[in-house]
A and B are shown apart, each in its own frame.
Chain A
Amino acid sequence: MIGSRREAIIGRALLILLMAFTVLPFVSLFTTALQPSGTYPLGLEWPAHPQWGNFTQAFKAAQMGSLLESSALIVAGVVPVSVLIATMAGFAIGHLRVPGSRLAFLLFLVGLTLPFEGVITPLYYEVQGMGLLNTRWAIILPLIGLFMPFSVYWMRAHFVTAPAELTDAARTDGVNTWQLFWRIHVPLARPAISSLTILLFLWTWNQFLLAIVLVDDPTKRTMAGALGAFQGQWGTNIPLLCAGSLIILVPTLLVFLAFQRHFVVALLQGSLKG
């Protein structure tokens, strides 16, 4: 009994230590962001006169309004389409078992571990050829394609376990394939679909490589890409850079805290399956 109590205390201490290590960068960002703009403060020090104005200044300097709009547009272009077409493909491969579905599945698996750096060079020339460089489409269209391996893999894993009896019953009632998909199987797949939506939202919002390679104008990039440009521009003004970074983190953190249970579950499942 005493032994297990000691174990529990050590466990708690370890957890708290690990949590402190995790939040330390955020705390340091925050105290630094409140230091007078343009100074070289210490990493962790509560300022004598907190400069809340730094946040307003960074908000303007980073053009937060247009950044948010740009990221939202990109997410709106990527996520719904990706989820829809991946769900359709997962349904056909995992449940309808269309002829040759094994082959199609293997083809998608090829891309599952592909690092984006592996195809970024030809993507640049491909997007250039389409005349889409420096537009949001340059991020949206390739991302949809790049998300397909995981998304199809994910939805297939759900549809493989979908009950065949339902389909047989619906077929005898004369339901066509689209109705079968849309009215019967999509509602049943809602948990898998919402997890996929959360993951794709996150991966789109945080996408960096495609943004810096394919789009020059930070206000047409994703949040992460814009943050990279912000660092290049304000890298020497530490308090302002910290304030800007924090502001750029806020939307993701808010969404995360609002849906935190779903997020953790989605990320856990996502990494387990992927």
Chain B
Amino acid sequence: MLDLSTGRHPAAREPAGARRAPRRKPGARRAARARWAGWLFVVPALGMYGLFVLRPLALTIQYSLYQWDGIGPSTWTGLGNYATVFSDPALLAIIGNAFKLIVAFSVVPVLLGLAVAVVIRRISASRLALTARTVLFLPQVIPLVAAGIAWSWLLSSTGVANQFLSAIGLGGITRAWLGDFSTALPAVGLIGAWVLVGLCTVLLMSGMTKIDPSLYEAARIDGAGLWREFTAVTLPSIRQEIAVCVTVTVIAALASFDIVYISTQGGPGEATMVPGLEIYELAFSHRQVGLASALAVVLIVLVLACVLPIQRLARKGAQ
């Protein structure tokens, strides 16, 4: 069937391959036009994405080159704001806090999740394990804000943590964990670990159920001990799942906001201040939009710099 409307389009607009095709089906030209018409399907998503992600992204970079209080005129400072981010000890400490949180948000949940998943490998199909899957997922479902409120209470001076410590005879070390300079950041880390350990455990568990049991038998026949079995069979098989856990948790650590906002507001002093919260404070409380934007760009780049190597490693391992 000949589509008359296509005749009006110059043939040059069609992909070259379609024109040279020797036995062209009657519908081919129409199909080529339909291929371009397919862009209409992309436009709404691309439009919203452009308007609310790409444009703000470009604006963040633009703002970061100016000094601006958000209302009055702005002055060009070039890379001055970045110089501040990388030289101001307070801001460097804040970026440092984000990296310290990686220990609690990523290392602990992934190692603990790995340990639990290995130990319960044999009972992973039991009723208990299935219940555990649901229960361990609860922290993923509730708002982080709620986790922050609950843990602020647990870690307060009369909270469960101190109650427990007193009960086992450690009453001497009780304190308001989130209010103490030396323990506030680890306490925030604990909240993050609580949120993420379930996700990691369940992810790694589900990865392990896909491992062929004969691999373990083969390893046992070869006289491999538990450790050897773990490094030779388990770890390589769940590489992908581990990479996912690390990626998700590292992003959660570097870009943390909700938990810190609710539980400590960055305090005491600046002991638990993280880049996400500092951007918010700089931009909306201190009216230093330029500096806030420079920190935002640094945060975006840091996340990429951490995540891309993890992805590359995982992909290399898969080949």
Contacts and interface: CB of A to CB of B under 8 A. Distances in A.
Interface of A: 4, 7-8, 10-12, 14-16, 18-19, 21-26, 28-29, 32, 40-44, 85-86, 88-89, 91-93, 96-101, 104, 107-108, 110-111, 113-126, 141-142, 144-146, 148-149, 151-152, 171-172, 174, 176-177, 181, 202, 205-206, 208-209, 212-213, 223-225, 227-228, 231, 238, 241-242, 245, 248-249, 252-253, 256-257, 260, 263-264, 267-268, 271-272, 274
B49 interface: yes
Contacts of A271: 199, 203, 244-245, 248
Contact of A85 (B44, B194, B258): B44
A208 B258 contact: yes
A40 B53 CA distance: 45
A117 B276 contact: yes
Given A7-B119, A43-B163, A88-B42, A209 B57 contact: no
Given A19-B132, A85-B45, A123-B52, A177 B34 contact: yes
B215 to A, nearest CB: 17
Contacts of A120: 279-280, 283, 296
A25 B63 contact: no
B145 A11 contact: no
A89 B60 contact: no
3 tightest A-B CB contacts, nearest first: A145-B52, A115-B255, A43-B160
Contacts of A26: 138, 150
B63 A121 contact: yes
A22 B135 contact: yes
Nearest to A208: B258
A228 B145 contact: yes
Q: Is the interface of B mostly helix, strand, loop or mixed?
A: helix
5 contacts: A14-B119, A25-B153, A86-B45, A119-B52, A228-B262
Interface residues of B, number: 103
B11 interface: no
B181 interface: no
B136 interface: yes
B142 A252 contact: yes
A263 B137 contact: yes
B45 A152 contact: yes
Interface of B: 1, 15, 27, 31, 34-39, 41-42, 44-46, 48-57, 59-60, 63, 70, 115-116, 119-123, 128-129, 131-147, 149-151, 153-154, 156, 158-163, 194, 197-199, 201-203, 206, 240-241, 244-245, 248, 251, 254-255, 257-258, 261-262, 275-276, 279-280, 283-284, 289, 292-293, 296-297, 299-300, 303-304, 307
A206 B144 contact: yes
Contact of B46 (A8, A104, A117): A104
Contacts of A15: 116, 120, 123, 128-129, 132
> Max chain A CB contacts within 10 Å: which of B142, B158, B159, B251?
B142
B46 A43 contact: no
B244 A209 contact: no
Contact of A25 (B129, B151, B241, B251): B151
Nearest to A272: B244
Given A12-B120, A15-B132, A98-B42, 10 more contacts: A11-B123, A15-B116, A22-B194, A22-B198, A43-B159, A107-B49, A116-B255, A119-B56, A121-B292, A253-B142
A115 B31 CA distance: 40
Contact of A88 (B45, B129, B262): B45
A225 B37 CA distance: 41
Contact of A174 (B1, B60, B276): B1
B266 to A, nearest CB: 13
Contacts of A85: 44-45, 48
B288 to A, nearest CB: 10
A196 B139 CA distance: 19
Nearest to A256: B141
A88 B41 contact: yes
Contact of B158 (A40, A101, A249, A252): A40
A227 B53 contact: no
B122 A11 contact: yes
B56 A123 contact: yes
B135 A115 contact: no
B149 A124 contact: no
A98 B244 CA distance: 30
Nearest to B259: A208
Contact of A117 (B142, B145, B299): B299
A114 B63 contact: no
Contact of A224 (B258, B280, B292, B296): B258
Contact of B143 (A23, A205, A256): A205
A121 B44 contact: no
Given A121-B293, A171-B31, A115 B254 contact: yes
B201 A115 contact: no
Given A118-B296, A121-B283, A89 B44 contact: yes
Contact of B296 (A98, A121, A124): A121
B141 A263 contact: yes
Given A181-B41, A231-B149, A118 B60 contact: yes
